[in-house]
Structure 1
Amino acid sequence: MAKNVWKKETAEKRIATRLNEVSTIEIKDYVRDTDLHSLPRAKAYRVDGVHLYVDILNLGTMLQSTDVEGVTCQKRTLRFLNLHQRAVHRILGAVDAIKVDFHNQRLHAVIAKPYGDEEGRVHRAIAIGQLIIDVLAETGEDGDEYIPAADIRIGIDSGKALAVRNGRRGSTEPLFLGEPANHAAKRAGGGTATGIFLTNKARAAIALDEVNDEDGTALEPDEVTTSQDKADLPITATAVLRDWRKDLEANPISAFAFSGHTPPYANMDLELLSPGNSRRNDAISIYADIDGFTAYVAQHIDDDDTAKDVVRVLHVLRSEMDAVLTEDFGGRKIRFVGDCVHGVLVEGTAQTTDMEASASAAILCAGGLRSSFSTALDCLEAEDIDVAGLGLAIGFDAGPTAITRLGMKGAMIRCATGRNVLASEHEQKRCDGDETALGSVAYGWCTAAGQAIFGSSRKRSGLDYQTALDELADKGDPTAKAARVAKASLISISLLEPATAAPSAFRFPPRDATPTKPAGFA
């Protein structure tokens, strides 16, 4: 692995391998009790269901609970998340919902039952949402390290989505692609008011009036009560809290303990992490989101042939982003969040981060991600796969980053948290499909060359790898200069590799070649 070096030829080889893995795709309609957690890579299910997104609004407040982002506020934040994740895990299991993902403060779940009854599913989703609100209102802790209850905002939408397997190498979950997942997430992230927010499509399914402002119109208490009565869930908040407290007594959350990881992050085994064995470095958090993918899925989901291409496109793009981050730049993917990858990278030692080198590596990595994305689109188009309308929005920021795994034993989830994680997602969201942005802390880490690339707006369009490498190296950035030398060395090595042996020269066969007489002739 040549660190901080991206090569088109290497990317093309990886992409060809990934395409071969999904050369044959099977699209099926979801049927009763299909196990979506063990989907083969080459199979996808079309699921008609209700999507529920839960956003914990006061995570940022936890990270800001101390003036300096030291270990105290991060330990509090991780315990805060761990307590709430364990409670929600118990709820979803009791109500037979599909847990898709719990990424830091954000939960995605799908309600597929009752089958063939959209109205019943929406009522059930509302009842589950209110149960989560009621339970998490009681799952804080008093004491020396006060942990508050969670402030909850919930978004709900209904419709068809495509379920595929998300992730590789032991970190797989179902992933749902399509408008209902995206719109539910937007309602959950659409404001700072707590409550349950439905799209007009979900409202229509339960005969509620359409509203002008979906993000500003929470369900009224009597509307929630109606849904609770119709859903008649098999569990109450009191029962969940009782079992949750018993579980905490029997399986207490370990005290969080941090140690620094010696770079690169690529060699960190995330599956060995736990609260008592967590990592913490000053590092870069990167979000790279496939822009336009929700509309792309909506255009292709109904036809089997085009739905197969959706699976191919997603597999190739996510896999290549993971490879760029890990193999080319020594970073580490934390999670795929829908069509977005979240990763971290750092330069330096376990004790001391080289801030300038880390920022420069992040700029080069962002360029590599964009170059690989463009290369992948070209390769997909060469296979007659439609990729029109897709782009890549990238954001990153820097700061103390805690990395661990949270949740129930046997079902622990990777987590990287810090103020920079929230900030990097914010930076990504202010980009369109051709832009890269960095936060104010990462900007301060940059060399003068790095700051010149982004300017006062801290945003740049069209920043591919070669552009980033040239602009940094030409202005004397040490990390880019070293990467340029490494890249030149790799090119020289490839040119010096032995050529394929030429075909052997024409030779007479090793036998007597004197004239012979055909049998029967004198």
Structure 2
Amino acid sequence: MPKRTWSEETAKDRIKARIADVKTVTIKDYVRTMSLEAIPTGVAYRVDGVHLYIDILNIDDMLNITAVEGETCHKRTLRFLNQHYRAVRDILQDVEAIEVDFHNQRLHAVFAKPYDDETARIHKAVATAQLIRDVLKKTGDDGSDPLPAAKTRVGIDSGKALAVNNGRRSSREPLFLGNPANQAAKRAGGEAEGIFMTNTARKVVGWDEVLDVDATALTAAQIEESEDAADLPVTVDEVVEQWEEDLADHPIGAFSFSRHTPPFRTIDLQVLTPGNSRRQEGTSIYGDIDNFTKYVTARVDNDDDAKNVVKTLHVLRSELDSVLFDDFAGKKVRFIGDCIHGIVVEGTSQTTDDDETAKNALLCAAAMRSSFNLAMTEMKAEGIDAGDLGLAVGLEHGIMSVTRLGMKGERVRCCISRSVLASEDEQRRCNGRQTAMGPELYDHAPAAFQTLFDESRRRSDFDYAAANDALNPKPESQKSAGTGASLLRPATSAAAAAGFTFNKAAAQPSRNVGGFS
């Protein structure tokens, strides 16, 4: 059982093993005969394609439909996401696009076909984006408790990216690294609805460049031009009819929640379904590799340089996952590009120990930074060009729901709540040396960490040594503080002695904190 501590020696041994995993790396150019499923660890495909990101803008509205973040708003939000995921999945299959990831409210897809025709690929992506937007406006109302239409923003870019294996153990799928994926994601990040495309992609199809790509959506005429050029094999009405038949044959079913006995390390995400979902307080952690897109873009065209990208990503992500899972008994929900999303909880089958969860989550974040820095040092010692990368970490505490959406045999993991969205926002306000926490986590954090982070709730260079120094001050500081007790100790709980079980009682928060219930 993990003791919620970090050891430099243990981390160094893991990192060396991960470096050995990718001693030999092969870079291949993607061709029509290749499959991107189950890409081996030491292989990457260079793919020339169009990247499309779709962000559902009103997910916050769904989560805040009630003043208290109770079961009602979580059930409605999950039903909302589930319906839209199933509709979008059908569309991507119909147009032969590659579904890369569906992370809560955000979709990433890639168009590699038609091969050797970038203009046609871009028109196809634009037409598909509009088809998805039109369909999602019609898939909200499914009965007595109608859901709102999805408000969407789309980002599109085109170019070369590296496709690698995204994950370990049971979560393997393709991941695309490079500037077009990043630029498409950035264009999707905004408040206004519409389809937003980079000047790089606009130039390919012969459209004028614009001064502000984030404020200039494609016009109706441009979208119509793409629809005519792409001539997609399905229409809005056909997709909606197919979606309705799919729902009738394979109903979503009611969402039902129970608690998971801490820690989250023991939760089996593969068995979760709408009727077998988890809901309880916990801390959400986002760790994003800063400067990674620039690092990849400078190396994607050269095989030797690209090999270093594959090695660096494998070592860094594997070690971040190990810190979360092995050292602090947390659970990786998924890798999102060069970012890891994880969850941590301490307590019993009936209640969450909010203070202990907050402390160990922050220690986990500190250990992630120490392991990250150690991995960068070890890779450079091995002659791996790891560039000038950093780690931005964001955390927030609150009630969260964990489940899987979609149909049996092809479900996707989902962890959603106000605190999950807030933890990602906290990560976004950090540079590669910073860690930030949300206000709820700050309230439960040890006083030493509150002082260290101050009212900004953000700190540079918060590694394991800094955390240890804060929790275990030197004798002079101890005298002035009036205590010599150490807070940096292994977590304990009744759950550890009792074993790990699933409580089938309806999940409720342990107590009313900050409006959560």
Q: Structures share a fold, TM > 0.5?
A: yes
> Cα offset for 1:304?
0.5
| Residues 73-99 of structure 1, C-alpha deviations (whole Å, 9 max, x = no match) | 001000000000000000000100000
Q: Are the structure 2 counterparts of residues 23 and 428 from structure 1 closer, same or farther at C-alpha, using a change threshold of 3 Å?
A: same
- The amino acid across from 1:334 in the alignment is V
Q: Does 1:283 align with 2:290?
A: no
Q: Is the 8 A contact 2:356 2:491 kept in 1?
A: no
| Partner in structure 1 of residue 3 of structure 2 | 3
Secondary structure of the 1:368 match is: helix
Q: How does 1:318-329 map to 2 (within 5 A)?
A: 318-329=317-328
Alignment TM-score, normalising by the size of structure 1: 0.91
Give distance in 1, aligned partners of 2:317 and 2:386.
14
| Partner in structure 2 of residue 480 of structure 1 | 487
Q: How many residues align?
A: 484
- The amino acid across from 2:187 in the alignment is R
> Cα offset for 1:347?
1.0
> Cα offset for 1:484?
11
Q: How does 1:380-399 map to 2 (within 5 A)?
A: 380-399=379-398
Q: Is the 8 A contact 1:473 1:484 kept in 2?
A: no
Q: Are the structure 2 counterparts of residues 479 and 135 from structure 1 closer, same or farther at C-alpha, using a change threshold of 3 Å?
A: farther
- The amino acid across from 2:170 in the alignment is G
| Partner in structure 2 of residue 200 of structure 1 | 199
| Partner in structure 2 of residue 101 of structure 1 | 101
Secondary structure of the 2:76 match is: helix
Q: Does 1:69 align with 2:69?
A: yes
Q: Is the 8 A contact 1:469 1:484 kept in 2?
A: no
Secondary structure of the 1:80 match is: helix
- The amino acid across from 1:444 in the alignment is D
Q: How does 1:199-218 map to 2 (within 5 A)?
A: 199-218=198-217
| Residues 186-206 of structure 1, C-alpha deviations (whole Å, 9 max, x = no match) | 0001x2111100000011011
| Partner in structure 1 of residue 292 of structure 2 | 293
Which deviates further from its counterpart, 470-479 or 7-16?
A: 470-479
> Cα offset for 1:481?
3.1
| Partner in structure 2 of residue 236 of structure 1 | 235
Give distance in 1, aligned partners of 2:362 and 2:248.
46
| Partner in structure 2 of residue 404 of structure 1 | 403
Q: How does 1:302-321 map to 2 (within 5 A)?
A: 302-321=301-320
| Partner in structure 2 of residue 158 of structure 1 | 158
Give distance in 2, aligned partners of 1:304 and 1:478.
54
> Cα offset for 1:478?
7.8
Q: Which has the larger Rg?
A: 1
| Residues 432-466 of structure 1, C-alpha deviations (whole Å, 9 max, x = no match) | 00000001111112232221121000000001012
Secondary structure of the 2:298 match is: helix
Q: Are the structure 2 counterparts of residues 53 and 60 from structure 1 closer, same or farther at C-alpha, using a change threshold of 3 Å?
A: same
| Partner in structure 2 of residue 125 of structure 1 | 125
Give distance in 1, aligned partners of 2:485 and 2:54.
44
- The amino acid across from 1:468 in the alignment is A
Give distance in 2, aligned partners of 1:8 and 1:471.
18
Alignment TM-score, normalising by the size of structure 2: 0.92
Which deviates further from its counterpart, 364-373 or 351-360?
A: 351-360
| Residues 18-48 of structure 1, C-alpha deviations (whole Å, 9 max, x = no match) | 1111111110100014210121111110001
Give distance in 1, aligned partners of 2:246 and 2:488.
54
| Partner in structure 2 of residue 46 of structure 1 | 46
> Cα offset for 1:359?
0.8
Secondary structure of the 1:326 match is: helix
Runs of 4+ in structure 1 deviating by more than 6 angstroms, as ranges, are 475-479
Give distance in 2, aligned partners of 1:2 and 1:244.
45
Give distance in 1, aligned partners of 2:449 and 2:72.
32
| Partner in structure 1 of residue 137 of structure 2 | 137
Q: Is the 8 A contact 1:264 1:345 kept in 2?
A: yes
List runs of 5+ in structure 1 lacking aligned partners.
486-522
Secondary structure of the 1:260 match is: strand
| Partner in structure 2 of residue 85 of structure 1 | 85
Secondary structure of the 1:181 match is: helix
> Cα offset for 1:254?
1.6
> Cα offset for 1:418?
0.3
| Partner in structure 1 of residue 169 of structure 2 | 169
Give distance in 1, aligned partners of 2:194 and 2:434.
33
Q: Is the 8 A contact 2:4 2:491 kept in 1?
A: no
Give distance in 1, aligned partners of 2:268 and 2:191.
36
